[in-house]
Amino acid sequence: MSVPNDKHRVLVVDEDDSLSRIVAHHLKKIGCEVLVAETGDEAMTLVDPRPTCAVLDLGKGGRVDGMRFLGRFLKTLPGIPVVVMAEPGEVPRGLEAIRAGAFDYVTKPLDIGAFLATVSAAIRTGSSLRRSDGGAPGLRDTQWIGQSPSARMLRETASALGATHADVLITGPTGSGKRLFARMLHHVSDRARGPLVFVPCGSIPGEALEAELFGAGRSAESDPGQDPPRVGRVPSADGGTLVLLEIDAVPKARQGMILELLQNRWIHQPDTGASHPLSLRVIATARGPLRARVEAGEFREDLYYRLNALSVQIPSLRERIEDLPHLIGIFLQRLSMAYSGGIPTVSPAAMAVLQTHEWPGNVRELESVLEWAYSCAVGGEIRTSDLPSGVFGSSTSSPGGFIGIGGQPYVGGRTMEAVERLAVQQTLELCRGNKAAAARILDVTEKTIYNKLVRLGLREPAPVVPKEARRRGRRPLNRGTPMGIDPGASPAGDGGKPRD
């Protein structure tokens, strides 16, 4: 693994001298110039000239208050990506740091390979932001969210591909993030200052695609009063990156013009008869393997080989389900900013439903589900009753999974007390804390519900908020409410202390 040939300054802020030495040693091996500081004040004396990125240990107290220094650093030096190191079991602090503006986090003890991949991606981002004169992308546009092995691999891949000028093919299921990965590739490349132009090939009729790509010229016989010729998206991307979305949807009869563009990098202007060269990188996305389309006679084999020289496969959300709490935290933060509300917590039962859903629509579906749940939630917490019915249709055979209508849990291997706790807890959630309604559903008396709350140690759900307080689908959230998502939390009833 390496970073660009020119030296990049990496500021390491850590009061642990032994860890700083290890980090500095490995960063120097990939060609970085490393500056080490033990305190925040010392670190601020080393920022001229500006570092490309910084590595900060959040720590557990001591001479460096990690979160406070992170806020100070980002306010003083905006645009410098910061990778934070969290203690074992301190994943929520890593997520809190990302919400505060950090580029990413890693946990200790360090996996050196994953750590260097994350720092390399941060260096690429820092370099592209530094090259930009203005209108630089936000850090969230330049990284792949998550801490799963596949997420780390994608960040490392983007870092490596950013150093090349080669065309790239991105494949993956619908909604998995192909567009985001293409955006990230552009922003970490040396074309970040140039335009980024997307072409939705799947939604443009075949006969209109050529004009959309290359423009519609005006002949010499045309009426001078007509509209001026339309500039196509290909010349608009000159000097930057052209992204051909869903290239597998382009009719075979129209694929030849794309092949010619990839081979020649020239564009002909029919209104003037002139041709001129183009300097652009082409990124194409496809919903499925193009090889199968070639064998079916629906895709040109020569275009396939031209595109497939460098290819990246984006995994489905189900294949990186460990990233789900991380993604949920980021999306809820964005929703709170968009609607000027607080960031709700997610109950363990609701989190269990989300973690066992199959997510056929991938990350795009997750965003839609959370937007629905955000508008329905009351009292600063998302519960199972706030989730759309579609997430209850998945079935799994693993313990803890959810099967059947209404998200009924698979309870094999659990104690009767755990099953009872789960039944009472979820029914009360469904009834918005109405014990009489829960008692009718469970076919017990209301007094029995009260007794079970005490015996099982369950916390009573928040009472129902009057309908008047939920006008326009909003709820009275406390804007200071923390997210409160524990990625390691299990549903109440697995032997652990229930949280809702």
260-315 residue pLDDT tens = 888 888 776 665 666 778 889 999 999 888 898 999 999 999 999 988 888 999 99
Domain count, the chain: 3
What pLDDT score was predicted for residue 313?
A: 93
Considering the domain architecture, whether residues 445 and 467 belong to the same structural domain is answered as: yes
Query: Does residue 60 have a pLDDT over 50?
Result: yes
Considering the domain architecture, whether residues 358 and 380 belong to the same structural domain is answered as: yes
* 259 falls within a domain: yes
What pLDDT score was predicted for residue 415?
A: 67
Considering the domain architecture, whether residues 20 and 39 belong to the same structural domain is answered as: yes
What pLDDT score was predicted for residue 302?
A: 92
Helix residue ranges, H only, 322-361:
324-339, 348-356
Bigger pLDDT: 172 or 152?
Answer: 172
Bridge partners (DSSP) of residue 284 are 169, 244
Considering the domain architecture, whether residues 280 and 325 belong to the same structural domain is answered as: no
Considering the domain architecture, whether residues 172 and 193 belong to the same structural domain is answered as: yes
Query: Does residue 99 have a pLDDT over 90?
Result: no
Query: Does residue 96 have a pLDDT over 70?
Result: yes
Q: Which domain holds residue 261?
A: 165-219+228-315
* 487 falls within a domain: no
* 483 falls within a domain: no
* 497 falls within a domain: no
Query: Does residue 437 have a pLDDT over 60?
Result: yes
* 441 falls within a domain: yes
What pLDDT score was predicted for residue 342?
A: 79
Q: Which of 116, 139, 158 is at the close of a domain?
A: 158
**417 pLDDT tier (thresholds 50, 70, 90):** confident
Bigger pLDDT: 112 or 274?
Answer: 112
* 500 falls within a domain: no
Considering the domain architecture, whether residues 151 and 208 belong to the same structural domain is answered as: no
Mean pLDDT of all residues in the chain?
76
Q: Contact, 326 vs 146, CB < 8 A?
A: yes
Considering the domain architecture, whether residues 74 and 116 belong to the same structural domain is answered as: yes
User: What mean pLDDT do residues 317-341 have?
Assistant: 83
Residue 41: phi, psi to the nearest 5? -65, -40
3-class DSSP assignment, residue 381: strand
Sequence-ordered list of residues with C-beta below 8 angstroms from that of 135, at least 6 positions apart, any chain: none
**460 pLDDT tier (thresholds 50, 70, 90):** low
What pLDDT score was predicted for residue 171?
A: 94
Query: Does residue 11 have a pLDDT over 90?
Result: yes
Considering the domain architecture, whether residues 27 and 124 belong to the same structural domain is answered as: yes
- H or E element in which residue 106 lies: strand 104-107
Q: Which of 105, 124, 158 is at the close of a domain?
A: 158
Query: Does residue 206 have a pLDDT over 80?
Result: no
**CATH assignment at residue 247:** 3.40.50.300
Which of 123-127, 317-321, 322-326, 331-335 shows the highest mean pLDDT? 317-321
Which runs of E-coded beta strand occur in 156-299? 168-171, 196-200, 215-216, 230-231, 241-245, 266-269, 274-277, 281-286
Q: Which of 286, 315, 344 is at the close of a domain?
A: 315
pLDDT tens-place string over residues 222-274:
454 455 556 788 888 888 899 999 999 899 988 998 998 888 887 766 656 66
Considering the domain architecture, whether residues 324 and 311 belong to the same structural domain is answered as: no
pLDDT tens-place string over residues 113-137:
778 877 877 787 666 555 544 444 4
Considering the domain architecture, whether residues 170 and 302 belong to the same structural domain is answered as: yes
**461 pLDDT tier (thresholds 50, 70, 90):** low
* 499 falls within a domain: no
**CATH assignment at residue 138:** 3.40.50.2300
**CATH assignment at residue 453:** 1.10.8.60
Q: Contact, 261 vs 307, CB < 8 A?
A: no
User: What mean pLDDT do residues 21-46 have?
Assistant: 89
* 491 falls within a domain: no
Considering the domain architecture, whether residues 171 and 306 belong to the same structural domain is answered as: yes
What pLDDT score was predicted for residue 263?
A: 85
Considering the domain architecture, whether residues 180 and 60 belong to the same structural domain is answered as: no
